[in-house]
Structure formats: C-alpha cells, structure tokens
Amino acid sequence: MRGRSITFWLIFGGVLFAALAINSFYGLLLTDHDPFLAIIIGINSAIYFFGIAEKKSDVRKRYSHLLVGSFFAYVLSIYQVLVVFSVWLEGLLISSCLLTIEALNLPLIISGFAISFLFDFAKKQIETNNF
C-alpha cells in the first residue's frame, strides 16, 4: 500500500466515524439520541485523524493508527451488538419489547464490521514489511 492509499483510508475512517458520531449525538438516521456513545465514536474518529497528522514519511506510524482505529471500530460494533442483545433479552423477560429500529444503531454496527477488514490488512502490512 502506497502512502497515498493510507491517507485515503485514514481520511475515510475519520470522516465515516465523525459522521456516525454526529449521527448518534443528534439521533438523525436509524439511530437513537445517545450523546455519550457519540463521544466514544468521536474518539474512534480521532484515532484516524491523528494518523493523518503524522508525518507522511512515517509510514509505520500511519499504519498503526489504521490498525488501532479499525480494531476499535470492530470493538464498537461488538459492543453495540451485545447491548442490543441485552436490551432485547430484558424486554423478553418483562414481556414488553424494548427495542426499536433506532436502538440498534445499524449504521454503527455495519460500519464497524466493514472497516474491521482494514485491521487484518494493516496487521499483515506491519508484520511483513520492515518499517
């Protein structure tokens, strides 16, 4: 992966999660209004953006931001799935459905799983190349 590609993916990740953060903060599209979660998603976005702040020549540092950012996104997706599952289970127990489509925050779950592929890729790059 050349330098320019990394920059692309860093910007992509940063913007995507910034959007998801704003989405969660205001509860815009397919998601509930959850300011705290929004902050956490924002932190994920920051991981990518700080990667861009690294010197262009420092490839390994940029890769590491990609690596951790993607893993974190993956963790967020799993977190969301677990939370949703618990809410559903609780609803089951008190015999009233507590879930709404918005509570799922599908945009977060899908994005997280999608971008986690970058994690495997970045990991391979770091292990096979001698930066």
Partner 1 sequence: MENHRDGIESRESTIALLGNPNVGKTSIFNALTGSRQIVANWPGVTVEKRAGVMKHHNHTVDVIDLPGTYTLGATSLDEKIARDFLVNEKPGVAMVIGDAVNLERSLYLLLQVLELRGDVVLAVNAVDEARKAGFEIDRNELSKQLGIPVVVTSAVTGEGIEELKNTLVKSTKSGSHVHYLFSDEVEAHLRDLSERIRGNPSLAGIDERWLSIKLLERDDEVQKITGITLDYDFSVEIAETRYKYIKRILSTSVKGKEKIGWNFSEAIDHVLTHRFLGILIFLAVMYIIFQLTFTISGPLSIMIEELLGGLGRALGGLIGIDWLRSLVVEGIIGGVGAVLVFVPNIFILFLALGILEETGYLPRAAFVIDRIMYAMKLSGRSFISMLLGFGCNVSSIMSTRSISEPKERIVTILVSPFISCSARLPVYVLIAGTFFGARAGVVIFFLYVLSIVITVLSALLINKLFFKGEPSTLIMELPRYRKPRLSSIILYTWNKGRHFLEKAGTIILGASVVIWVLSYFPSEGTGSFAAMIGKSLEPLFIPLGYTWEMITSLVFGIAAKEVIVSSLTTFFGNPSVTGTSLGVIRTLITPEVALSFLVFVLLYVPCMPTLAVIKNETGSYKYVFFSVFYSLAVAYIVALIVRLVGGLL
Contact positions vs partner 1 (CB under 8 A): 36, 40, 43-44, 46-47, 50, 60-61, 63-65, 67-69, 72, 75-76, 79, 82-83, 86-87, 89-90, 92-94, 123, 126-127, 129-131
Closest CA to 110 of 20, 33, 28: 20
Give the total residue count for the chain: 131
Closest CA to 60 of 3, 14, 108, 117: 3
Shortest approach of partner 1 to residue 44 CB, angstroms? 8
Shortest approach of partner 1 to residue 48 CB, angstroms? 10
Stated as kind and residue range, the H or E segment containing 63 is helix 59-93
Shortest approach of partner 1 to residue 28 CB, angstroms? 21
